[in-house]
Structure 1
């Protein structure tokens, strides 16, 4: 009963003391602190100012900045983007885990997982000619670890010039609709009967191991700001997540953060002074032009996703990352300048978050010259 859910609202930016307080005394005499967020109400089209003693980011992953992803459409790195702009400490942004087998369908950016258990029970990866290829890359063949399989698949796709590969499940002895009902139904929905034909698959951005640096309570480097879930970097996943640990992390850190905030709320500590809250201005529209043409936004997203997939994807090199850095730097500047006078909207908020997130991931990948975990450097 003490929770109010605001549906169809999107976070635009974090409110912080030096960036948003109008009274100059707070810019110089108060520690940089999170004071809440500007939030876009999609129903009215107007930004709202929401003040908060404590703000928790639980915005999920960043998979949608890549061409292929298993993530939900909203996973564009909103939390990462807002934290970066606020000067909050981030960590391990280069560690993006890719799942080797996601269902390939041209009409969607979100790709359902094809469980690796299928390969464990006899399924084989095939190229576009119907030939098995994994033994050319690893002596364990189709049972190699997911990183090795994903890297091999990308190499084959580039070599053959094809958008996807195939998973032949004819070697699975058990009844497919019974043993793998979810995969069977998902494939059937797009017209593929896996009992008769192979599954088109592609590696996809799956889980973000980096994020906003936190402690065991979810506290970030900025007072008043917390982060939990996939947008947070707790240290649990290191350079490469183990299967299912994300659910455990969400449960453990969610409970720890909630209990911590309950304690400090009850004690009355750290609340925002009323005078400081009153110094925060409402959102100011910089312009009322309507440049958010869906075609322009779609092209900007295509640039982001293709750049990240080809240059900052499963296999990286100095040359690829340098090209990505230059392209993303120019694109972020272009997006900021072009849309500056445009009235804010949900597509523009997502585009700003996505472009900024892609840019900082690229910078982190450039800095790490070692091939470690899911940061694979071919050079």
Structure 2
């Protein structure tokens, strides 16, 4: 067989690359695929603020308390404990020393730390406002130096399982196992069978299921939908975190204004320049993201305004100039006609991070054998009902390495004869070209449905409307998929409607407001 690996990793962000690097260093055969045309197009790249790191003023107990407080107590306690105890050291030991990432340092040569909302101490290491891109580039360089195949333009179609995709009738009676993926070559339109003893989903979240998001367009809930179809459990899907400060501009979309601006003194103000966050929380501008997002949403609704503002220039307390401290944000906003060094930034809340996902244990193992889930696609229970800022990058590294160690330590591999019995992917007997306008229209319907009825404020009536509308969309999209010539866009649409439905059904089941799931009735 042409494609057989110890591990097949879907996604080349911080979680997938960390896992791949560790696997390769232990002697495993590993390949990383991404549906994007470039290796840099990931959620990781767009992470601005920083990464939680070990620092002298911190402790595992204090970090754990902050994570649980932000998560509303919905966190998995042992996941929080092991993360708080072991993960922060990886910033220096793995990312800086081993991978070679260049983060900002003090004059004394130690990592520089900034503060962010809901953190008790300044513990966030960074490269100004381009931390994710810096880490991504360093990880890619390390992976390429190790000779890890990093394959762009490949979209995962479906997870292959023994009981569903094998010609051996005995497999129906065996426990379900993952044996690989059907993989689409975006350019040629052909679907190949790629086999692996472990499949690792590191596909990111589903921000693009919503009308307003900070995520890149590729965040369509692919891994969650594939895992769900393969029979894996998903949990906490209702906990979609909205970032309170996305740049509000007619031409510049999806641009995040980092929480680090508020960590450096920035304050959220109304159209008259008046700060208002103290009316909503004693932590004011440094309240958890769900609190700040609802406050802005409420103030917009009450004032009839399309946006609020983040004033950094009046309140900035950093040692560098605003342009030096936040170069990416400064340049991007300036392109939009806003000089953040002397005027406030127009902002709106936007879908940012999925705290739920594929249920994964302390080693990233999903509920189906040989399947792993890492980073935003996974739900280890670390974040609970609301993610503490700047924990996501570190979560990707931590569980990426733990999953790699678990995969490398396994003694049992799938016998080649079982892999050879797997069926090739079957294309529709009569397939038609996909009209991109129809795909765009259906995706927009999903996004508007989710934004209007499953967004920052939710009601029983709205969620039931969303559930009914998505059920109708699902039936039509699945029929369309079965008749269409497969391509990346139709696969994304199929994944989006499945993941959106899981979010809405989770929100309907959970009657209590918690964290970023806020029910009005």
Structure 2 equivalent of residue 356 of structure 1: 498
Structure 1 equivalent of residue 310 of structure 2: 167
Structure 2 equivalent of residue 207 of structure 1: 353
1:34 positional shift: 0.5
**Number of aligned pairs?**
373
| Distance verdict in 2 for CA 1:108–1:179, change over 3 Å | closer
1:122 positional shift: 4.5
The gaps in structure 2 that reach 5 residues or longer are 1-145
Matched ranges for 1:29-178 at <5 A: 30-107=174-251, 109-118=253-262, 121-127=265-271, 133-134=276-277, 137-138=280-281, 141-173=284-316, 175-178=321-324
The gaps in structure 1 that reach 5 residues or longer are none
CA distance in 1, matches of 2:481, 2:436: 13
Matched ranges for 1:1-379 at <5 A: 3-28=148-173, 30-107=174-251, 109-118=253-262, 121-127=265-271, 133-134=276-277, 137-138=280-281, 141-173=284-316, 175-264=321-410, 267=411, 269=412, 271-379=413-521
Instruction: After superposing the two structures, state which structure 1 stretch, 82-91 or 285-294, moved more.
Output: 285-294
| Distance verdict in 2 for CA 1:249–1:199, change over 3 Å | same
Following TM superposition, the consecutive aligned residue runs of length 4 or more in structure 1 with deviations greater than 6 angstroms are: none
Matched-pair contact (CA < 8 Å) for 1:287–1:340: no
Matched-pair contact (CA < 8 Å) for 1:101–1:116: no
CA distance in 2, matches of 1:244, 1:121: 17
TM-score of the superposed pair, with normalisation by structure 2: 0.67
Instruction: After superposing the two structures, state which structure 1 stretch, 182-191 or 85-94, moved more.
Output: 182-191
> C-alpha offsets along residues 140-169 of structure 1, whole Å, 9 cap, x if unaligned?
654543222211222233445544332233
Instruction: After superposing the two structures, state which structure 1 stretch, 334-343 or 114-123, moved more.
Output: 114-123
> C-alpha offsets along residues 10-57 of structure 1, whole Å, 9 cap, x if unaligned?
1111001222113322112x2111010111111211111111111111
Please provide the CA RMSD for this pair: 2.2
CA distance in 2, matches of 1:209, 1:354: 17
> C-alpha offsets along residues 327-367 of structure 1, whole Å, 9 cap, x if unaligned?
11111111111232110011111111111111111111110
